[in-house]
Amino acid sequence: MGGKVFRLPERIEVERFKAGEKVRVKYSTTKAGKTTVSSVRPVM
């Protein structure tokens, strides 16, 4: 299995997803390497 691990802001409710469920994550990364997640949605 491939994938990346992201830290999510508290405003994103990840409890609605099941373990192993595929999701689409929108994020941006600063030049300093800090990643900010803006949305998480299930892949249909």
Alpha-carbon gap, residue 11 to 15, rounded angstroms:
11
How high is the mean pLDDT of the chain? 86
Alpha-carbon gap, residue 20 to 17, rounded angstroms:
9
Beta strands in the chain (DSSP E): 23-29, 35-42
pLDDT of res. 26: 93
pLDDT of res. 2: 63
Q: Is pLDDT at 31 greater than 60 in this prediction?
A: yes
| Chain CA centroid to CA 29, Å | 13
pLDDT classification of 20: cutoffs 50, 70, 90? confident
pLDDT classification of 5: cutoffs 50, 70, 90? confident
